[in-house]
Amino acid sequence: MVEPATATQAAAPVMPQLKDELDIVIPTIRNLDFLEMWRPFFQPYHLIIVQDGDPSKTIKVPPGFDYELYNRNDINKILGPKASCISFKDSACRCFGYMVSKKKYIFTIDDDCFVAKDPSGKAVNALEQHIKNLQCPSTPFFFNTLYDPFREGADFVRGYPFSLREGVPTAVSHGLWLNIPDYDAPTQLVKPLERNTRFVDAVLTIPKGTLFPMCGMNLAFDRDLIGPAMYFGLMGDGQPIGRYDDMWAGWCIKVICDHLGLGVKTGLPYIYHSKASNPFVNLRKEYKGIFWQEEIIPFFQQAVLPKDCTTVQKCYVELAKQVKEKLSKVDPYFDKLADAMVTWIKAWDELNPPTAGSVPNGKAA
Amino acid sequence: MSLSIKDHEIDIVIGALRSDLTSFMSEWRPIFSRFHLIIVKDPDLKEELKIPEGFNLDVYKKPDIDCVVGTSTSTIFSGYSCRYFGYLVSRKKYIISVDDDCYPAKDNKGILVDAVAQHITNLTTPATPFFFNTLYDPFTEGADFVRGYPFSLRSGVQCALSCGLWLNLADYDAPTQALKPEERNSRYVDAVLTVPARSLMPISGINIAFNREVIGPALLPSLRLGGEGKFRWETMEDIWSGMCVKVACDHLGLGVKTGMPYVWRNDRGDAIASLRKEWEGVKLMEEVVPFFQSVRLPREATTTEDCVAEVANVVKEQLGSKDPIFARAAKAMVDWVMLWKSVGSSTSSPGA
């Protein structure tokens, strides 16, 4: 049986790295009690809380945290008509937090995620591991059989060309979950008691050309490198689909990262996922996605971005165009989504105007 | 061990580069003793092999190799490549091959790893090369496909190759180990994963298993370094062979897994001495990798032999003029396909 770390274990003193360069984005609809567990690790950082659901409800933030909080009214006020691209009644609204952040790095976590323990019983400092992942290069062009070669105690194996050992910048760090695994509704229904107790002590780069299901529960990214592509789509209220926000973003960012020569890592750190959502509710939300993903995935696998897409925004707008052209026939929803993707980029650029002398945030591979 | 796999479907092939296999065989006895073993003695090794009693095995030495393939051909089986002779003459469906300086490892709980059982599990459960599962092998107990994994891809494909890893002395090249002489791999990563389609990797020959029926001819001796020696630091033959295997598997829709099982690889040799003697391999990889990444096999290549022949063709055309080592490798591949067809091309039928 796997258990979360208790508060005392989690209170190990740490030197907070990048505390002025990283924002923690948390979507919530209920309360933020879980922050008490994370206090020793999170308190030095600025939090961006995106309150979903009823804006008249007050979300209590535990004392001692430095935060800004946005509810639906705030989102509407800040974005005006462009607020239509931000989901309502779905944790996809968290991407608003990415947009308003002014920091280089984002770490996002769900409010039912707690501190995990490693096999030795020590509390896992997820934030520290994500930062390590993001600050060390990725190796997407050739698979290293000993996983992340930049980790202590590892290296590139025999046969790994030296010209590829410098790696590329890491744009995304995708963490995993002990206890309740991130299964879809059908799997949850078939295996309601399955718990992830396997602590896999590895970080690895997802190879170029390979897509993956990106989960937003425990995710960090370099906002400068990939931020504009982290749109979590149209989900929830008034939409035909839910629980595909992070998936959609994951497919988009991977295509763009592959195009721009950026890396995506997965593996450590683990968090402890405590709450299993209701599988019947999930099924209702996901059910269209389960059919649609059969079309969506070949679309992303075959997507090619032109060489002149040298920034994330250009790549994203081009992708939106292709979504409209090729996926609208699957369902009119994709037509709306493609429009929302463009709206998102416009909103992003408005809230994040380029500073004088800034350079494009990427180059075509 | 899967109940549907019979022990007699498995051969364990050991290339003997050292003559005294007593401690190697004794350490592996609890795991190996129920299987048939093929031990192939490096034709360059002069001393008599010392093998303990109590195993069901066939031993092949230079005269035996000469007998089967002829004295001129037997040179291709020198050094680490001697194990390919074992692959050639085996008639079993599954082959597991471990270097003779590797012993059984212990997992994180201190339990001895049954490398054979793990390799067989890897080979007999599907691989998932078309989409990455973030919880690694979904067919492992306690794991599954994650949310967002398309259902149409969940049946997976047949796994043709299982690449294991190494604790203690990892498979580093000479420069890397020379730079970090004290570094030893102590990290036991409790995972098996499928290497995605079209992703290449260095496939080490130190600890592998494969489905001979399906991919046998693609594991081949062909790239031989000028200064190839008797330490893995002085070879690239397995890395080359592994590229061919991965390209063939990707083309034929077969899977390659990597991760567990681990073996414990003993300290042996001197990285600096190897580096002084042989660094050609490290240089060659700069050509080899982009080359294999660009190889596209034609639709008409529908068998493993076809794939090997096609790759040999492209090697000859595109790399042959860059370095004679590649022209020789291409020829060796073509010769191997013929040899496989005449000597190697059958398996005992299941249940025999």
Q: Specify the pLDDT at position B242.
A: 96
A250 touches chain B (CB under 8 A): yes
Tell me the mean pLDDT in the region A202-212.
Answer: 97
Domain coordinates in residue numbering, chain A:
22-351
Rounded Cα–Cα distance for residues A352 and A333 (Å): 28
Tell me the mean pLDDT in the region A42-53.
Answer: 95
Q: Specify the pLDDT at position B334.
A: 96
pLDDT digits (tens, 9 = 90+) for A347-360: 999 999 987 545 55
A3 touches chain B (CB under 8 A): no
Predicted confidence (pLDDT) at residue A43 exceeds the cutoff of 70? yes
Tell me the mean pLDDT in the region A228-252.
Answer: 95
Closest chain A CA to residue B201? A143
pLDDT grade for A213, boundaries at 50, 70 and 90: very high
Rounded Cα–Cα distance for residues B240 and B220 (Å): 9
Q: Specify the pLDDT at position A12.
A: 58
- A 230-249 residues inside an 8 A Cβ radius of B: 243-244, 246-247
8 Å CB contact of A159 and B202:
yes
8 Å CB contact of A290 and B200:
no
Mean pLDDT of chain A, nearest integer: 93
DSSP structure string for B309-338: HHHHHHIIIIITTT-HHHHHHHHHHHHHHH
Predicted confidence (pLDDT) at residue A11 exceeds the cutoff of 90? no
Strand partners, B264: B103, B167
Mean pLDDT of chain B, nearest integer: 93
**Are A118 and B132 contacting, i.e. CB atoms less than 8 angstroms apart?**
no
Strand partners, A267: A175, A203
Cβ neighbours of B203 in A, within 8 Å: 145, 159
Q: Specify the pLDDT at position B273.
A: 85
Q: Specify the pLDDT at position B280.
A: 85
8 Å CB contact of A290 and B147:
no
DSSP structure string for B198-265: T------SSEEEEEHHHHGGGS------TT--SSGGG--HHHHHHHHHHHHHHHHT-EEEEEEEEEEE
Q: Specify the pLDDT at position B351.
A: 32
Predicted confidence (pLDDT) at residue B78 exceeds the cutoff of 70? yes
Predicted confidence (pLDDT) at residue A225 exceeds the cutoff of 60? yes
Question: Distances in Å between the alpha carbon of B60 and those of A61, B27, B329?
Answer: 73, 22, 24
Rounded Cα–Cα distance for residues A130 and A104 (Å): 13
8 Å CB contact of A160 and B198:
no
Identify the weakest region by mean pLDDT among A45-49, B5-9, B126-130, B171-175.
Answer: B5-9
pLDDT digits (tens, 9 = 90+) for B166-210: 999 999 999 999 999 999 999 999 999 999 999 999 999 999 999
8 Å CB contact of B188 and A201:
yes
What percent of chain A is modeled with pLDDT above 70? 95
Predicted confidence (pLDDT) at residue A16 exceeds the cutoff of 90? no
Closest chain A CA to residue B108? A119
Tell me the mean pLDDT in the region A21-39.
Answer: 94
pLDDT grade for B346, boundaries at 50, 70 and 90: low
| Six-digit token string for B143 | 């794991």
- B 95-134 residues inside an 8 A Cβ radius of A: 108, 131-134
pLDDT grade for B349, boundaries at 50, 70 and 90: very low
Closest chain A CA to residue B206? A158
pLDDT digits (tens, 9 = 90+) for B98-141: 999 999 999 999 999 999 999 999 999 999 999 999 999 999 99
Tell me the mean pLDDT in the region B278-294.
Answer: 90
What percent of chain A is modeled with pLDDT above 90? 90
Cβ neighbours of B186 in A, within 8 Å: 153
Burial (CB count within 10 angstroms: exposed 0-12, middle 13-18, buried 19+), residue A201: middle
Q: Specify the pLDDT at position A183.
A: 95
| pTM, 2 dp | 0.94
Cβ neighbours of B197 in A, within 8 Å: 210
Phi, psi (degrees; rounded to nearest 5) at A264: -125, 125
CA distance B54 to chain A (A): 35
**Are A84 and A343 contacting, i.e. CB atoms less than 8 angstroms apart?**
yes
Rounded Cα–Cα distance for residues B82 and B19 (Å): 14
Instruction: Compare CB distances from A157 to B189, B204, B289 and report the shortest one's residue.
Output: B204
Rounded Cα–Cα distance for residues B339 and A214 (Å): 47
Rounded Cα–Cα distance for residues B35 and B16 (Å): 18
Instruction: Compare CB distances from B148 to A145, A160, A213 and report the shortest one's residue.
Output: A213
Percent helix, percent strand, percent coil in chain B, to nearest 5: 40, 20, 40
| Six-digit token string for B171 | 């498979």
CB pairs under 8 A between A and B: 175
> Domain A22-351 carries which CATH code?
3.90.550
Predicted confidence (pLDDT) at residue B352 exceeds the cutoff of 70? no
pLDDT digits (tens, 9 = 90+) for A130-183: 999 999 999 999 999 999 999 999 999 999 999 999 999 999 999 999 999 999
Q: Which amino acid is residue A348, in one-letter code?
A: W
Q: Which amino acid is residue B321, in one-letter code?
A: S
Domain coordinates in residue numbering, chain B:
101-342
pLDDT grade for B226, boundaries at 50, 70 and 90: confident
Instruction: Compare CB distances from B132 to A160, A194, A210 and report the shortest one's residue.
Output: A210
- A 281-340 residues inside an 8 A Cβ radius of B: 286, 290, 293-294, 297
Predicted confidence (pLDDT) at residue A8 exceeds the cutoff of 60? no
